[in-house]
Structure formats: C-alpha cells, structure tokens
Amino acid sequence: MKDNLDGVATFVQVVEAGSFALAAERMNLTRSAVGKAISRLEARLGVRLLHRSTRSQSLTTEGQSYYEGCVRALAELDNAEAALDHSGIEPSGRLRVSVPEAFGHLCVAPVLLDLARHYPKLQIDLSFTDRMVDLVEEGIDLAVRIGELRDSATLAARRLGTQHVAIGASPAYLAQHGTPQSLDDLAAHIGIAYSCGGNVAPWWGATDAAKPAPAVQVRSQISMDDIQAIAAAAIDGYGLAWLPCWLLTRFVQSGALAPVLGSYRVRSQEIYAVWPKERHLRAKTRVAIDALKARIPAMIGE
C-alpha cells in the first residue's frame, strides 16, 4: 500500500521553518535530503507545492490548501500518539533540551543522564547556552530558564524551584581587603561582574522582602558572561563574586570561598521548565519535567 505520509512531515517543516536549510537543521537531515523529499512529494501529487528561488520560497495555491490539510492530519496523529503515551508506553525518540550553561552542567545534565540510563529508547540532545532561544523557531522540545518568562504566552511552564544569589570571596581576598559588614561597605570593594551582550548585570540587595531591592554599587575591573569563570576568578582573589547559592555553597564547603554578608541575599529568581504549548504533552517531555521537578529543589537547597 502506498505511504501517503511520505514527505508530509518534511513539507510541513519546510513551510513552518521558512527555508529548506532551517527545516533540514530541525530534522537533523541534509538540505539535499529535504529537497529530494519535497520533489518526490510533488511528483506523487502531480502539483507544485512551493515556488522556489535561490533567495525565497512561497506556497502555491495548491500548496497552501495541501499544507492546511497536512497540519490537521499531523495534529490528529500527534493526538493519537499522545494518547498512547499516557497508556504506559516507554518514552522514546529524540528530546531536544536547552539549558543555561553553568546550571545545565551542574544541575540539569545529571538528571537527564540518569533519565537516559533509565529509558534506553530516549535520545537526549542537550544544548548548553545562556542565549534566550526561541523554542518553536529552533525546534526545542524543552528548556530550563531562570528568571522572568518573557514569551510565556507561547509557552507552557512548570516551576522547578527558586534560585537565591549571595556574595562570596576568597579567604585571601578578605584577609587583604577586609570583610564587608553592610551593603554600603561594598562600595570600597572590587566585584567581578556578570555581563551578557555587553550589558553588566547590577547587584541587588534584598534585606526586606516587603521593600524594593536597592541596587548595590560595586566597582568592577573584570566582567565575564560565565558564572563558573566568575567563581574561579573569585577563588583566585580577584574580588567579590555574586553567585547563585547552589554554586557558591560548593566552594564554601570546600573552603575555597567564604560567604559575605550572609544575612543578605540578592533578589531571588524562579527556575522553570518550559516547552511549546500543545494539546497533549509527549511522554518523553513529561518524564523529563517530572524528573527535574523531583530533583532540582534539593540541588538548589530548597
């Protein structure tokens, strides 16, 4: 029997991606393979679905009609597969996950590696980046984000915990420069700043949850876009570091860093698992979210 679905998913991906190249990247195929799949589909249907040039593509009238039908058909298949997912079938397939670099390495990766060991049919593709990725545009199934959800209208989310941030410094730095006793004392110290895209993140003191957190002025000679590198610089005595407690605690326990102003914490940030909104949550995504929710709170000291 003829397989009427041959090339359909590829065609939908090409339309939604806007280009053969991006569709190929999302599907982990070569651009040539995508092009051949579309050509075979057009030959089988006997119509041209796409107007193609070297710089652009657009749907033909027949292509627009066919695309709308394909989207409906694939949605029905997704619903059927989701129903099977809920019936106890083992999670399987490729799960693309985007995570912040340091938090991803130290907290998320161990959870997902254990998940892969537990579910041999599950293929986990883990990307470490502090860049704000577009989940739909880049074909990401699941992401972990820290802070405000700017595009929450298009995403579903589940809170994983709260990240608190505190200040630390090496014992050698404090012995040479003294230990700050108040937020005002920080003005006399050097801080190692976190920067992203050329913007240096301010330090925020939070002494009273009922009042707005005041900005803390700290001079900085060095700025970095990686908090693990900031921690390393602090250990080497380059200044005070503003670090998530889940990272700072590791170095405090080893004696490499000492907490500064222990009764103060900078503004807390929520940690979320986020994924593109869909009618049914696939088993592969659901088990990953459940595993993160079960283990992340203990990792961040909740």
Residue-by-residue pLDDT tens, the chain, 302 positions: 345 677 888 898 888 888 888 888 877 788 888 889 999 999 999 999 998 876 778 889 999 999 888 888 877 776 666 666 555 678 888 999 999 999 999 999 999 999 999 999 999 999 999 888 888 778 899 999 998 777 666 778 899 998 888 899 999 999 999 998 887 888 889 999 887 766 767 676 554 444 555 667 678 888 888 899 999 999 999 999 989 989 999 999 999 999 988 745 556 788 999 998 775 678 899 999 999 999 999 998 86
Question: HSE (CB half, 13 Å, CA atoms) of 194?
Answer: 18
Q: Where are the alpha helices (DSSP H) in the chain?
A: 8-17, 20-27, 31-45, 61-85, 101-103, 109-118, 171-177, 227-235, 245-254, 283-299
The full set of domains in the chain, from first to last, is: 8-85 (1.10.10.10), 93-161+269-299 (3.40.190.10), 163-268 (3.40.190.290)
Name the pTM for this structure. Answer: 0.67
